[in-house]
Amino acid sequence: MESDSVKVSVRVRPFNKREQGNNMTSVIATDTRKATVTMCNRNRKEMTGEGTKIFQFDHVFWSVETPDACGARPAAQADVFRTIGYPLVQHAFDGFNSCLFAYGQTGSGKTYTMMGADVKTLGGEGSGVTPRICLEIFARKASVEAEGHSRWSVELGYVEVYNERVSD
């Protein structure tokens, strides 16, 4: 899938407080090395056999505190940026348009992944993919302009669609 122009990634978040309070149990397992998510039938505990489905992605990020089924450590914001954001910046500097699209139901972790936790310092550990992309773009822009090769103009668009309303 490395040559595909569209990449699909999944980030598995931990249970939120409501889910923990309702004693929810996970029905998925991930293999971050193979970039797969396995979903079992809700009535079964094991991740094999009837009712089990395996989904393949370009990248799978396990962000739950306990290691995934293959022992992978939880993915930090920096890991997600390195895998998804950095290549987007590289493609842009190679002269291609780049787009990052986050999709999921309310509470699934899109804002956390894209913008980050409530951090005081831009570029801090909790910063999401979007602030890190911006920092990388402007650091590269400054470097290129300092070499005297060219001057750059940057255009960036950011929109959110929520409850059938678009805001930017």
Please indicate if the annotation marks 121 as binding a ligand: no
Task: Please give the structure tokens belonging to residue 125.
Answer: 């550990």
Beta pairing class for 36-39 and 165-167: unpaired
SS3 label, residue 26: coil
Is there a contact between 46 and 96 (Cβ–Cβ < 8 Å)?
Answer: no
Range list of H helices, 29-154: 77-80, 86-93, 110-115, 129-146
Task: Please give the structure tokens belonging to residue 89.
Answer: 């910046």
Please indicate if the annotation marks 113 as binding a ligand: no
Please indicate if the annotation marks 17 as binding a ligand: no
Please indicate if the annotation marks 21 as binding a ligand: no
Task: Please give the structure tokens belonging to residue 1.
Answer: 């899938």
For CA atoms 14, 159, 95, 136, the dihedral sign is negative
Please indicate if the annotation marks 71 as binding a ligand: no
Please indicate if the annotation marks 32 as binding a ligand: no
Please indicate if the annotation marks 20 as binding a ligand: no
Question: Which residue numbers belong to the known binding site?
Answer: 104-111
Bind-site residues for ATP: 104-111
